[in-house]
Amino acid sequence: MEGFCIFLNQHGYSTLAPICEFYQIDKAILSRVVSKLAKLEYIEFLKADDKREKIITLSAKGKEIFLDANTYIRRYERNILDILDVKDQERLLKLLDYINEKI
């Protein structure tokens, strides 16, 4: 669900197909996530030319929660990095880049 919000924050709005393709998930699973987020008022539906298509975007509430969570995560990452000296930070970042390339 977090990745879904990141995708919407970066792209502004989207239909389900690009999100499914990007995260390699089934459209039925994403539809259930979308329903839950809509009930929580974290996303909104935009009008589409094709009524079968759902265009979704983060609501104001969704953006606020996303930004709060992002701030918390960045602070947590900073605390982890502050434990390490510069050389170990560089090693960690290289390792994370390597892992990211492999997944």
Gap between the Cα atoms of 94 and 35, Å rounded = 38
Proportion of the chain in helix, strand, coil states, percent, rounded to 5: 70, 10, 20
Fold of 2-102: Arc Repressor Mutant, subunit A (1.10.10)
Q: Where are the domains of the chain?
A: 2-102
Work out the mean pLDDT of the chain and round it to a whole number. 91
| Residue whose token pair is 């919000």 | 5
Given a cut of 70, is residue 34 above it in pLDDT? yes
Q: Convert the pLDDT of each residue in 40-75 to its tens digit.
A: 999 999 988 877 788 999 999 999 999 999 999 999
Q: Which helix (H) or strand (E) holds 91?
A: helix 86-102
Global confidence as pTM: 0.75
Chain-centre distance of CA 32, in angstroms?
16
